[in-house]
Amino acid sequence: MRLQVFVVVCLFSLFSTHAQVNPLRVFERDSSEAFQPVKIKDVKLLYVPRSAKLSSPVTFLNKTRVLTEKFKRFTPQSFWTKGHEFGLNINEVAFVNWNAGGENSVSALANARFTRNYKFRYLTWNNELRLRYGINAQEGRQLRKTDDQIRLTSTFGFRKDTITNWYYSVKTTFNTQFSNGFQYPNRDTPISRFMSPGYLFLGAGISYIIDEEGFNLYISPVALKATFVLDEALSNQGAFGVEEGKSVFTEIGFLINNTWEKEVIKNVFMNHRLSLYTDYLRSFGNIDIDWEVNFNLKVNKYISANIGTHLIYDDDIRFEEELAEDGTVINPGEPRIQFKQLLGVGLTYSF
């Protein structure tokens, strides 16, 4: 009797083991009371261990769909960051029967900034394009240009490990202007044009970069500076340091460049750029300076105010002599400090 009971228990256990649900299939009964397998197409990317217990086919299908949607939404990480910024400042003054006097005027300054930066482990590549153009319309006189700039900067850097902030760098900078410049009120003879002048800096050196602080210091002991004057009339005058009749003038020297972007206080952003250059061969020790400082005061997402200064000193840019009526020289044709100050309120859009 005991032997018969033992045999029955063993047969029941064996039957129960083979009657368990296969984790990769779901079974349902049809009219003939036989189990028929139903394949689930959604279970292609999911591995279910044999020991797992399925509560119900519906629950299993819902979980599988959620995992499948997560796989579909997955996108590879990009090491590029992009930036676009557009601004427009407009100043207007209008008078009607104003006893103190005055002339109606409208000024507009448009600017744009585009950035494309790449960073991954040991490599960094930063690119920036800045565009500015300003005009002024005043009652009783023709339209005048107030600002004009095209500046393109590209820096490629390599570092030996992912901890240091020092990079071996190659940097190039190019800048020129859009349209003719005049010594107002004279509009017949341009004193500058597109690519007259145009400046190209190309050098190799080291950079100290702190991305979190927006700080970048570049030092190049060997930097090429090329000055282009492609307008024939200006090149024949020897403008901007080129020899008379020549369109390109090159120098080899020492270059220091520093940029710093920081939120100094809440909603007040500082943008600083300084360039110092001296030539080894012709005038070592005479330093060319190009220094910009701008403060952007952000009112809200679209409205901002801007205060800025721009100082330039270039030993190769010499101004014309100024003579008195008796022929004596008032101001000799020497290089001078050039200074520009900006103040405006307008619209800013960035994305």
Q: Which DSSP string do the residues of 124-175 spell out, in sequence order?
A: EEEEEEEEEEEEEEETTS--EEEEEEEEEEEEEEE-SSSS--EEEEEEEEEE
pLDDT at 327: 56
Going by pLDDT thresholds of 50, 70 and 90, the confidence category of residue 322 is low
107-118 pLDDT, tens digit per residue, is 999 999 999 999
Kindly report which listed range (9-13, 33-37, 76-80, 240-244) carries the lowest average pLDDT score: 33-37
Q: Which residues contact 121 (CB under 8 A, 6 or more apart)?
A: 162
- DSSP one-letter code for 232: H
pLDDT value of residue 62: 59
How high is the pLDDT of residue 55?
Answer: 52
Find tokens 């800048």 and name the residue.
Answer: 175
The yes-or-no verdict on residue 192 having pLDDT over 90 is: yes
What's the mean pLDDT when you consider all of the chain? 82
**How many Å apart are CA 233 and CA 84, to the nearest integer?**
37
Q: Which two tokens stand for residue 9?
A: 């228990």
Model confidence pLDDT, tens digit, residues 144-184: 999 999 999 999 999 999 899 999 999 999 999 999 999 88
CA distance 324 to 318: 19
Distances (CA, A) of 253 to 1, 61, 181, 287: 109, 70, 29, 10
pLDDT score of 32 more than 80 = no
Residue 101 banded pLDDT, cuts 50, 70, 90: confident
Distance, in Å, from the CA atom of 137 to the CA atom of 224, rounded to the nearest integer, reads 40
Confidence of residue 91 (pLDDT cuts 50, 70, 90): confident
d(C-alpha 183, C-alpha 196), whole Å: 15
The residue ranking higher by pLDDT, 26 or 70, is: 70
pLDDT above 70 as % of the chain:
74
Distance, CA of 101 to CA of 15 (rounded, Å): 109
pLDDT exceeds 60 at position 345: yes
Query: Is this prediction's pTM over 0.85?
Result: no
Quick: pLDDT tens for 120-131: 989 999 999 999
More confident site: 339 or 321: 339
